[in-house]
Amino acid sequence: MMGKGNSWKDRLEALGHWFFYVAMRLFGHAGGYVLLVPVVFCYVLCSRKIHDITRPYLRRRFPDHGFFRLWLDTYKNLLSFGQVLVDRGWLGLNRDASLQGDFVGYDKLLHAIKQGRGVVLLTAHIGNWQTALAHLENLPVKVHALMQYDQQAVAKHYFDLQGKTRSFEIINADGPFGGMIDAAAALQRGEAVTIMGDRYVKGSCSTVDFFKSPVRLPDAAYLLAACTNTPVVVLLVANTGWGNYQIRVWDPFYPQHENRDQRPAMLKECSEQFALILEKHLNQYPFQWYNFFDFWKQ
């Protein structure tokens, strides 16, 4: 849902964002949430495409739901995503604003960092993940984010809206060697590298089961960790209410392989572990999955 140019759709999207920004400037954070309800309802009612892009996940998460329940599930899914966008926009508009939340397992993360070997923070397009990134500025080490950074997107990352300084450095995943050399160097210095572990764009991947269907997941994060002897810590964010969220740190794991021949099996095992963690999280927060495309065909 990111605009990339000056087409009428991009202008319409920009106009839509403008309405939300105005609502929040006039009525505060709640203004955005209230405006969201009829907007999402209209999308769900009028857009066939919305159902096409949410059904691949919802049908697998709720295999026993019929037509009307799936329609309601789509509404809940989109409303949840809309709340994330409103939160992001609110934080971007107000330098002093913050969201309420807690960081479960923060001590596990600190313990992993204190080992001095660096840490790979694996996350996914679930919950308010970008806001969670902002909280990493409290970590005792420098944080890097290995990501594709679209600077032409209409929906600006919140740290750009007011020229706010990012709490982490971006390593461009579109750069030479997919940014892996910079990431390895950062880990070798004992720093943290966050990587999105769900969307596969290019490069190495493993095919694993996710909600009982095979899916390709990117697995470079595990090789990075294995080569630098670094723990992988999965970090997932859940929206727990209006303006509230929870960052949860899962138990670290340590990818290892003896040689290149063992690499594929190691990568697959780690990918399976990550898929299982995603399933557990989504079993608890089923409407916070924000990969709006057929994830099983990526």
Interacting residues with other proteins (CB under 8 A)? 175-185, 188, 203-204, 220, 223-224, 227-228, 259-261, 263
Q: Which helix (H) or strand (E) holds 215?
A: strand 213-218
Residues contacting residue 138 through CB under 8 Å, at least 6 positions apart: none
Residues contacting residue 268 through CB under 8 Å, at least 6 positions apart: 206, 207, 208, 219
Placement of tokens 């329940």 in the chain: 69
Residues contacting residue 72 through CB under 8 Å, at least 6 positions apart: none
Which residue number, 260 or 297, has a Cβ lying nearer to other proteins? 260
Cα–Cα distance, 120 to 106 (Å, whole number): 15
Which residue number, 149 or 177, has a Cβ lying nearer to other proteins? 177
Which residue number, 155 or 227, has a Cβ lying nearer to other proteins? 227
In the complex, the smallest distance separating the C-beta of residue 183 from other proteins, rounded to whole angstroms, is 8
In the complex, the smallest distance separating the C-beta of residue 267 from other proteins, rounded to whole angstroms, is 9
Which residue number, 161 or 227, has a Cβ lying nearer to other proteins? 227
Cα–Cα distance, 280 to 289 (Å, whole number): 12
In the complex, the smallest distance separating the C-beta of residue 226 from other proteins, rounded to whole angstroms, is 9
Cα–Cα distance, 227 to 108 (Å, whole number): 22
Measured CA angle at 198 (ends 214, 14), to 5 deg: 125
Which residue number, 123 or 228, has a Cβ lying nearer to other proteins? 228
Closest to 170 measured CA to CA, from 143, 145, 141, 204: 145
In the complex, the smallest distance separating the C-beta of residue 274 from other proteins, rounded to whole angstroms, is 17
In the complex, the smallest distance separating the C-beta of residue 7 from other proteins, rounded to whole angstroms, is 33
CB 20 within 8 A of CB 33: no
Which residue number, 28 or 175, has a Cβ lying nearer to other proteins? 175
In the complex, the smallest distance separating the C-beta of residue 143 from other proteins, rounded to whole angstroms, is 17
**Tokens read off for 199:** 């969307």
